[in-house]
Amino acid sequence: MGSRLRVLATVLSTALTIGCSPRARIPIVEQTQMVMGTFFTVALYGKVQPDSAERAIAAAFDTIRAVEMWASASSPRSEVRVLNLRAGRDTVDVSAPLDRLLHLAQKVAQASDGAFDVTVGPLTSLWGFEDSPTAPPDSAAIRAALRLVDYRDMWLGRRRAFLRKPGMQLDLGAIAKGWAVDRAFALLRQRGYGDVMVDGGGDLRVASTSLTAGKRRVWIRHPRRPGNYIGRFPYDSGAVATSGDYERYFLYEGVRFHHILDPRSGWPARACASVTVVGPNTTLCDAWATAIFVLGPRRGLEIADQIPGLEAMVVSEANGRLYWDATEALAARLEILDPAAVRGFPE
Ligand code: AMP
Ligand code: MG
C-alpha cells in the first residue's frame, strides 16, 4: 500500500484505533504495511513536507522490519534463532537492542512471577498457532515442553545470553511488536515530527500537538463480537497494547484454545478474554498486557496498580456474561459501549 494524504476520519481497522471527528480536517501522511504478521500503520499529522514525511515513514518501516529480522525465531538471520540453536551449549554475544529487550523481558517475568516468560518457545511451537491447528496437543507432550520453560534458566550478562537447557527456545511474540513500535516512534520523533501515531496491529504509541489534542480515542475491541468495541477512552500521548483470546484461537469440542499460554500449566490462560494496558512505552504495555492476561483480573489489576505509570483494563467472561474492571485512573476515563458488560470479576 502506498502512502497517501487524506483527511483524518474514524478508522476502524485494528484492535485499537484512533478516531477524530471527521470534521476536524487534519491532514495526514500515512502508510500501512504488513510486517511482523500484522498490519502496521505509521501516520504523521498536520502540515508536513510530503517528501520528507514519506521518507521518514519509509525509514520507520525499515526499523520495524529490522526488529522483525532479529527478533523472530524463524527468520534465518535472526539473533534469537542463534540463541535458540546454542541452547544448552554456549553463551552467545547479543546486540545492544536484544540485550536491552531481554533484560526488560526478564524484569517483567520476575515481577509477574513467571506469568510472562519469553522462554515459552517449546510450548508455543508445540501448540503451533501459526499453522492454524484444530486440536490441542496431548498432555504428555505439554508436560515435556513445560520442562524447558523457565525464565530463570535464561542467563543474561552484559551483552551476552545463554539458555541453560538444550531444547530451550525464546519466543519474543509477546513483547517484540511493542519494541518495534517504540523504535519506529523514536525515529519519527528524532526527525522532528510531533504529531505521530505508530500502530502495530493494535499496539500503539502516540504523540499529539494542539492540532489533535483531545480528539483521539482509543477503541478497545469487543472480545466476543468481531468488528465491535467494548469501550473507548480519550488518549493524547503515550502507549497502549492489548492482548486478547480472540486474536489467534480455535474451538475444540466447544472450548476456546488460544495463543496466550500459562507457563505454569502449559495450557491457554483462562481467566481473561482481553487485557488493555496503558503506559509510558509500547514495549512495557505489550509485555504487561500478556502478563496480566495470564495472572487474571484480580491479581493482574493489583499488580498494575503497583507499577507507576501503568493502567490496565481487564475483560473476563463467565457463564456467557462479560465482566470488566480497570485501575482507577483508566476507569474514570473509560466509556463502556456494551451495556450488558458488568463491572467486577466473575465469582
Ligand atoms: P500478545 O499478543 O502480546 O499477548 O503475545 C502473545 C504471543 O506471545 C503468543 O503468540 C506467543 O508467541 C507468546 N506467548 C504466549 N504466552 C506467553 C507467555 N505467558 N509469556 C510470554 N509470551 C507468551
Ligand atoms: Mg504482549
Cell of 188: 519519527
Give the Å distance between the CA of 6 and the centre of ligand 2: 31
**pLDDT for position 24:** 55
Long-range Cβ contacts of 94-99 (<8 Å, 24+ apart):
94/159, 94/160, 94/161, 95/70, 95/159, 96/159, 97/67, 97/70, 97/179, 97/183, 98/70, 98/71, 98/161, 99/156, 99/158, 99/159, 99/161
**pLDDT for position 2:** 33
* Residue having the nearest C-alpha atom to atom 10 of ligand 1: 259
User: pLDDT by residue for the chain (347 residues), tens digit each?
Assistant: 333 333 333 232 233 444 444 445 788 999 999 999 999 999 999 999 999 999 999 999 999 999 999 999 888 889 999 999 999 999 999 999 999 999 999 999 999 999 999 999 999 999 999 899 999 999 999 999 999 999 999 999 999 999 999 999 999 999 999 999 999 999 999 999 999 999 999 999 999 999 999 889 999 999 999 989 999 999 999 999 999 999 899 999 999 999 999 999 999 999 999 999 999 999 999 999 999 999 999 999 999 999 999 999 999 999 999 999 999 999 999 999 999 999 999 87
* Residue having the nearest C-alpha atom to atom 12 of ligand 1: 173
**pLDDT for position 3:** 33
Whole-number Å distance between alpha carbons of 107 and 111: 6
**pLDDT for position 16:** 40
Q: Which atom of ligand 1 is nearest to the CA of 247?
A: 2
**pLDDT for position 12:** 29
Whole-number Å distance between alpha carbons of 87 and 298: 36
- Residues near ligand 1 with C-beta < 6 Å? 116-118, 120, 124, 129, 171, 173-174, 243, 247, 259-261, 263, 286, 289-290, 294
- CA angle at 140 for the pair 136 and 144, rounded to the nearest 5°: 105
Give, as one character, the DSSP assignment of residue 236: -
* Among the bound ligands, the one closest to the CA of 146: 1
Nearest partner of 320 among 341, 299, 294, 338, judged by Cα: 341
**pLDDT for position 344:** 95
Give the Å distance between the CA of 289 and the centre of ligand 1: 10
Whole-number Å distance between alpha carbons of 267 and 12: 32
Q: What single string gives the DSSP state of each residue in 20-60?
A: --GGG--EEEEEEEEETTEEEEEEEESS--HHHHHHHHHHH
* Residue having the nearest C-alpha atom to atom 8 of ligand 1: 174
